[in-house]
Amino acid sequence: MAITVQTYTTKEEAVRVAADAFEALIRERAKAGKTAVLGLATGSTPIALYKELIRRHKENGLSFKNVISFNLDEYCGLPGTHDQSYRYFMNDQLFNHIDIDKANTHVPLGTLPDAEIDAHCKSYEEAIKAAGGIDIQLLGIGRTGHIGFNEPPSSAESRTRKVHLDELTRKDNAVFFGDLAKVPHYAVTMGCGTVLDAKKVLLLAWGEPKAEIVAKSIKGPQTEQVPASWLQKHKDCVFILDKAAASKL
Ligand code: F6R
């Protein structure tokens, strides 16, 4: 199975294409009286897409009442009220601006004691299954090749679990925290196997700094050392790129 690559001159164009995929799914399911299950990501990459979805909600009547969402990951140690937690990010960047029922939004909990994390991860996986599985999983990609926070080495079978963050990831994310020392060392993330179970996967990447890892993920060997390379196994995975992110293909 090969990854489908779509390259656009501008990020804005690329974002519209990604938004179209989400809008089509949500509207089609709403028409049939059914739910749409979205796998969502945080970080800088999806911000423009969330803005576009909010615009479509406000201007075109796109409703999220039938949407159930599962986020990929959360930092350990940060409660949802912390402005760098991924729960906070999702509320702030998307959920607070659309008509989604917050009870239908799921983000892993980062504040549980170690003894309770395994059970939480299992129940996260079970909740995804109970919702009918993820229809579209949105991904960004880290320069380590991580998807979610599946740092190298991560197996294709990995499931939701607590993971140790790579130093390169901590450094890349230090811009959001303003200080490297404040970036957590651990996170809870869906596994590569969890992501591969989604019916459709859309990975977005912008800018030259992502070009090398994007090329490795698409053209390189499938390996634990580049967790995003496992996406080559998926039957419906699309990389939506701007020109710069596609420049090493
Ligand atoms: C975010 C996530 C990460 C990011 C990746 C890219 O929920 O799981 O895999 O998608 O670190 O981050 P940005 O978009 O900030 O370059």
CA angle 222, 228, 233 (to 5 degrees): 55
* 191 pocket-lining for ligand 1 (C-beta < 6 Å): no
pLDDT of residue 32: 98
Q: What is 4-242's CATH number, 3.40.50.1950, 3.30.9.10, 3.30.70.330, 3.40.50.1360?
A: 3.40.50.1360
| CB of 72 shorter than 6 A to ligand 1 | yes
pLDDT at 77: 98
Counting as low any pLDDT under 70, the low residues of the chain are: 1
Give residue 72 CA to ligand 1 midpoint distance, Å: 9
Q: What is the pLDDT of residue 14?
A: 98
Q: β-strands 186-189, 161-164: how paired?
A: antiparallel
Ligand 1 atom 8 nearest Cα: 148
**So what's the pLDDT on residue 105?**
98
- pLDDT value, residue 191: 98
Ligand 1, atom 12, lies closest to the CA of 43
pLDDT value, residue 170? 98
Nearest CA-CA partner of 238 in 5, 2, 19, 1: 5
The span from the CA of 89 to the CA of 184, in Å, is 16
pLDDT at residue 210 in the model: 98
CB atoms within 10 A of CB 73: 23
Can you give the residue ranges of every domain in the chain? 4-242
Q: How many angstroms is it from 46 CA to the middle of ligand 1? A: 8
Q: How far is the CA of 10 from the centre of ligand 1 (A)?
A: 20
β-bridge mates for residue 67, sequence order: 36
Task: Give the model's pLDDT for residue 108.
Answer: 98
- Pocket-testing residue among 88, 93, 139, ligand 1, by greatest number of atoms within 8 A of Cβ: 139
